[in-house]
Amino acid sequence: MMPDRIGDLCVLSTAGTIAYENRESLSENILSAAAFFGFSSLPDELKIKIHICSEEEFKQKKEELNIDVPDFAIAFTCKINNIFILEYRNINRWYSLNAYKAVIVHECIHAFQTYFSMIPPKQYVWLYESVACYLAKQKKAYNRKNKVLWETFTNDFYKINDCYSLAYNFGVEMFKQFGDDILRVIRKPEAYIVELMEVYNSHI
């Protein structure tokens, strides 16, 4: 069942900014992602906190928290449920409003997946990014001529050119191939690692 209220799942630190950027559709997408993982609400201490930052605040938080994210990243999640994202006005030359909202949803999905699987994101970066890109509908074409080895995909994800396009396309194939078993795969990926590799090598 779809959760009724975004406030049961998230705390928006700058509600005015979110409202300006069409909070209603953003909320629907976050609620849909939560429902996929079976969440209708979260206790206060686990609610996702979304912080919209100026460029200076964003930079300070990255340094203060010692966050290792690609230079091109406009958002990051730390301590499972704290999302920091640049203000839209700072990046609207490169991101449409829908693309910006998809990034927020993407980061929320990381938190939901962590709660669901209890696996640290760093342990399966490629899986977290593939699930998030797919569920956030961050559709991007991937040039399959530039074959990336499975070992590179799973061990050096952020060093891959256009890594998020690759993640989205793997997510599509992964959800297609595993169907109703996908939540089992997400919860216990180590039990499906051979099958996941086969999906990657056969379809990517």
Which CATH number do you get for residue 105?
A: 3.40.390
Please write the tens of the pLDDT for every residue from 175-197. 999 999 999 999 999 999 999 99
Quick one: pLDDT band at residue 146, thresholds 50, 70, 90?
confident
Whether the per-residue pLDDT at 77 is higher than 80: the answer is yes
Q: Do 98 and 83 fall into the same domain?
A: yes
pLDDT value, residue 10 = 84
Residue with more model confidence, 118 or 79? 118
Domain of residue 79, residue span: 1-118
Number of compact structural domains in the chain: 2
Q: Do 29 and 126 fall into the same domain?
A: no
In 107-143, which positions are buried (b, 16+ CB within 10 angstroms) versus exposed (e)?
bbbbbbbbbbbebebeebbbbbbbbbbbbbebeeebe
The rounded radius of gyration (Å) of the Cα atoms in the chain is 17
- Mean per-residue pLDDT over the chain, rounded: 89
pLDDT value, residue 2 = 41
Q: Do 137 and 187 fall into the same domain?
A: yes
Q: Do 27 and 106 fall into the same domain?
A: yes
Please write the tens of the pLDDT for every residue from 91-116. 999 999 889 999 999 999 999 999 99
Q: Do 107 and 59 fall into the same domain?
A: yes
Distance CA 118, CA 122 (A): 12
**What are the residues whose beta carbons fall under 8 Å from the beta carbon of 87, sequence distance 6 or more?**
17, 52, 53, 54, 55
Structure tokens at 192: 């499906």
Q: Of 122, 121, 135, 118, which is closest to residue 182 (Cα–Cα)?
A: 135
Q: Do 4 and 103 fall into the same domain?
A: yes
Q: Averaged over 117-131, what is the pLDDT?
A: 96
Question: Which range among 31-45, 64-78, 151-165 shows the weakest confidence by mean pLDDT?
Answer: 64-78
What are the residues facing 83 on neighbouring strands? 50, 77
Quick one: pLDDT band at residue 8, thresholds 50, 70, 90?
confident
**118 HSE (CA, 13 A, CB side):** 1
pLDDT value, residue 17 = 52
Q: Decide the pairing of beta strands 75-78 and 82-86.
A: antiparallel
Q: Find out whether 110 and 186 touch, Cβ atoms under 8 Å.
A: no
Choose one of 101, 118, 135: the last residue of a domain: 118
Q: Do 62 and 114 fall into the same domain?
A: yes
Whether the per-residue pLDDT at 64 is higher than 70: the answer is yes
Q: Averaged over 57-71, what is the pLDDT?
A: 87
Give me the DSSP letters along 21-36.
T-HHHHHHHHHHHHHH
Quick one: pLDDT band at residue 14, thresholds 50, 70, 90?
low
Q: Averaged over 135-160, what is the pLDDT?
A: 90
What pTM does this model have?
0.90
Q: Do 3 and 86 fall into the same domain?
A: yes
Choose one of 102, 118, 134: the last residue of a domain: 118
Q: Do 191 and 135 fall into the same domain?
A: yes
Q: Find out whether 36 and 28 touch, Cβ atoms under 8 Å.
A: no
Structure tokens at 186: 């997400």
Whether the per-residue pLDDT at 16 is higher than 70: the answer is no
Q: Do 106 and 133 fall into the same domain?
A: no
Q: Do 107 and 77 fall into the same domain?
A: yes
Q: Do 63 and 112 fall into the same domain?
A: yes
Choose one of 118, 145, 180: the last residue of a domain: 118
Quick one: pLDDT band at residue 13, thresholds 50, 70, 90?
low
Please write the tens of the pLDDT for every residue from 24-42. 678 889 999 999 999 989 9
